Amino acid sequence: MSERIPFRIIQIEPAANTPKRQANGRIHTRSFTGLYRNLRIGFAGLLFVLFFGTAWLNWNGRQAVLWDLADSKFHIFAATFWPQDFILLSALLIICAFGLFAITVFAGRVWCGYSCPQSVWTWLFMWCEKVTEGDRNQRIRLAAAPWSLDKLVRRSLKHGLWLAIGVITGLTFVGYFTPIRPLAQELLTLQWGGVALFWVVFFTVATYLNAGWLREAVCMHMCPYARFQSVMFDKDTLAVAYDPRRGETRGPRKKGSDRQAQHLGDCIDCTLCVQVCPTGIDIRDGLQMACIGCAACIDACDGVMDKMGYPRGLIGYKSEHNLQGGRTHWLRPRLLGYATALVVMIGALVIALQMRPMVSLDVIKDRGLFRENAQGQIENIYLLKIINKTQQPQHYQLRLVDAEGFVLHGKQAVFIPAGEMSELPVSVAMLADRPTSSSVDLTFEVQDSDQPQVYSRARSRFVAPLKR
């Protein structure tokens, strides 16, 4: 007869950096006030004004900011950019990346906490929850309660607000690629269809899911920034942190009690820092990948410290050197390197914008190699694409540069409206009877008639048969 192996049931505690969830696995945040909340609302308000308002601005009879995919033009107020200028867009994206790196080295994930659209829209959706379902404890009770008319009405109102915000967001985003006024009119008259409808629905659903349902999962599992931020931190990087030297040992107590006699630190273990966190972490467990640097825990903790009569700053923006009793070094090689690179690239972009030619010329040679014209000359056909990048109509002159022995036939003066492109077919004839080479480089030039210093050149080849 075999003996039974004794066993006992144990309860495994969650990992320290596991988000604290309530009611059906969702994180319900508590309402709070404070300095950093006001800053975040200010940044969010600015972002909303820029995003939702800019799309409706007009400039010289057109939408002020519009990426016109149909005509391959990007309008931004007084400037019009063409595909030939997209290298400038690449430079702008690189500048944004280095700016993010510099900010991260200096103050951690402040971009995520204050200006990232995912965070901003998530806070807006959580506000909708508070308006329709109540504060944290009310939402937890509502989530655990059986379905009723009251629960159905509250949930319907919440999801209705979420969808309304999603529709407005989707319409605005697509409105930067398709003129927003006709787009909105089609929405109001229910005459939608085609590609625009697909993308508005797509971004509506994406907003609804990301800000309403996925929330912290986007920051923790989908956003790459959370993964590589750790390699950019150093011991002087400011991050939201809890000071264990001051806070430990934790424990509840009455206001005015002698905490030193009780061998307690400043932390009263109220867990408000956890209850207000949008990712559900406990900042007292140390720096964690899921922390987005929103400082909600700082506001909550400062409020508790005020009530207890303790100094603020138990949780705050601190560096590792601060937590170890040292001081933060503000000027350090990594930060200076990123800042220098950022300044240099911004300067280079400004210079490139100033030196950007306001007329562009592209030369496309006809597929046919050559032909013989009525005068018996060898002739090549070209298509010239001339872009007027200014906001005024311009007159241009065409000519060949340093092309002795060749003559340009066709229209050599062209008028182009503001911000438009003109295609002009021309031909080039060789005057010599016996070409010395079967292929010769030619340089075409287009020049502003009123401003000779404004011009553009493009090269092509002239092909001719060698006569024996």
Q: DSSP states of 53-71 as a string?
A: IHTT-EETTEESEEEETTT
pLDDT at 15: 42
38 vs 44, 107, 240, 273, CA distance in Å? 10, 18, 17, 17
Q: How far is residue 238's CA from residue 107's CA, in Å, rounded to a whole number? A: 4
359-463 has which fold? Immunoglobulin-like (2.60.40)
The predicted pLDDT at position 416 comes to: 94
Question: What are 120-137's pLDDT values in tens digits?
Answer: 999 999 999 999 999 999
Place of tokens 């300067």: 347
Residue 145: DSSP 8-state: S
CB 202 within 8 A of CB 171: no
- pLDDT at residue 147, as a whole number: 95
**How many Cα atoms sit within 13 Å of 454 on the Cβ side?**
18
Distances, alpha carbon 333 to alpha carbons 102, 108, 110, 236, 330, in Å: 11, 17, 21, 11, 10
Peptide bond into 54 cis (omega under 30): no
Question: What per-residue confidence (pLDDT) applies to 16?
Answer: 45
Residue 70: predicted pLDDT: 82
Domain residue ranges of the chain, discontinuous segments joined by + = 35-81+116-214, 359-463
d(CA 165, CA 209): 12
Phi, psi of 288 (to 5 degrees): -135, 150
Phi, psi at residue 442, to the nearest 5°? -125, 145
pLDDT recorded at residue 467: 66
Of 141, 111, 129, 98, the C-alpha closest to 334 is: 98
Q: Which stretches of the chain score pLDDT less than 70?
A: 1-25, 467-468
